[in-house]
Amino acid sequence: MTSDRAPRRIQSVKIAFEILKILRDKQGASVTEVANVIDRSAGTVHTYLATMRDEGYVRSEDGVYRVGLFALPLGEYVRSQSRFYKAGKPVIDKLTQETGEAGHLVVESHGREILLYEQLGPDAVGENLYMRIKGYPRRNLHCSAASKAILAHLDQSHRDQILRDYEFVSQTSNTITDEAELRDEIKQIRTKGFASNDEEQIMGVRAVGAPVLYDGTVYGAISISAPKSRMQGERFTTTVPERVIDAANIIEVNIQAL
């Protein structure tokens, strides 16, 4: 007999992860700052931080706590196990060198966008620009070219589940903040085969993204972004989209060989 009760959760584990996310988002925080965010006593927060520091997942200096280096091998391990990353990294490296712009490998997880890999071409601008986007590195799906390409090709039930009670965070005045408008654009993306981002995440930056599909699975998407001054006319509507679609197809072929 199955139970209708929700599975049990360990609150202390949840709090520990919340603290790590705060340290990541704030790029370091004091005990008091963390305590204010999670509404716990300073003593309780200090105990969590001291424990995580002993395990290497938190480091401290002059009263400021930051994510520790032991978090790095975990992320690198997860990424290295991704077929999409292994198949896509050399392709995006080559594409960014040829276009001179910034390239990205993006996946969807738990209804959010995860930036799996980023490479900057020789002419790319803003080395740390994308880290300042709200929610980095786990962002909403409605305003980047890559994530909209993913949304457009997900199974309808999965897409509907994501968009149910979806939070439309506005990044710029161009960001789509209406579900009906997003769904209309998704239909166009499926027809065109690529998605566009017209200053929807960062003012002055445009991007083009295409999905990577294989055997009925959406592995993720790739995108190229550039200053609006270099992404205009046919380059924005035809030339770069063709390059990105071609690169996505190469990654799909590479995935089959893994």
What CATH code is carried by the domain that includes residue 24?
1.10.10.10
What is the rounded CA–CA span in Å between residue 68 and residue 23?
10
Residues 121 and 242 in one domain: yes
In this prediction, residue 232 carries a pLDDT of: 96
Which of residues 25, 50, 70 is at a domain's end? 70
Residues 112 and 181 in one domain: yes
Q: What residues make up the domain containing 236?
A: 82-257
Task: Give the H or E element holding residue 151.
Answer: helix 145-153
In this structure, is residue 76 part of a structural domain? no
Residues 64 and 93 in one domain: no
In this structure, is residue 148 part of a structural domain? yes
In this structure, is residue 4 part of a structural domain? no
In this prediction, residue 1 carries a pLDDT of: 46
Q: How many domains does the chain have?
A: 2
What is the rounded CA–CA span in Å between residue 151 and residue 132?
23
In this prediction, residue 92 carries a pLDDT of: 97
Residues 130 and 230 in one domain: yes
**Average pLDDT taken over every residue of the chain:** 92
Residues 133 and 242 in one domain: yes
Residues 114 and 235 in one domain: yes
Residues 63 and 98 in one domain: no
- Whole-model pTM: value is 0.85
Residues 49 and 97 in one domain: no
In this structure, is residue 98 part of a structural domain? yes
In this prediction, residue 127 carries a pLDDT of: 62
Going by C-alpha positions, the residue among 215, 199, 219 that lies closest to residue 207 is 199
CATH number at residue 113: 3.30.450.40
What is the rounded CA–CA span in Å between residue 91 and residue 201?
24
Residues 38 and 106 in one domain: no
In this structure, is residue 204 part of a structural domain? yes
In this prediction, residue 131 carries a pLDDT of: 53
Provide the β-strand partners of residue 119: 103
In this structure, is residue 77 part of a structural domain? no
Residues 199 and 93 in one domain: yes
What is the rounded CA–CA span in Å between residue 169 and residue 98?
33
Residues 148 and 64 in one domain: no
Ranges of residues in the chain whose predicted pLDDT is under 70:
1-6, 126-138
In this structure, is residue 114 part of a structural domain? yes
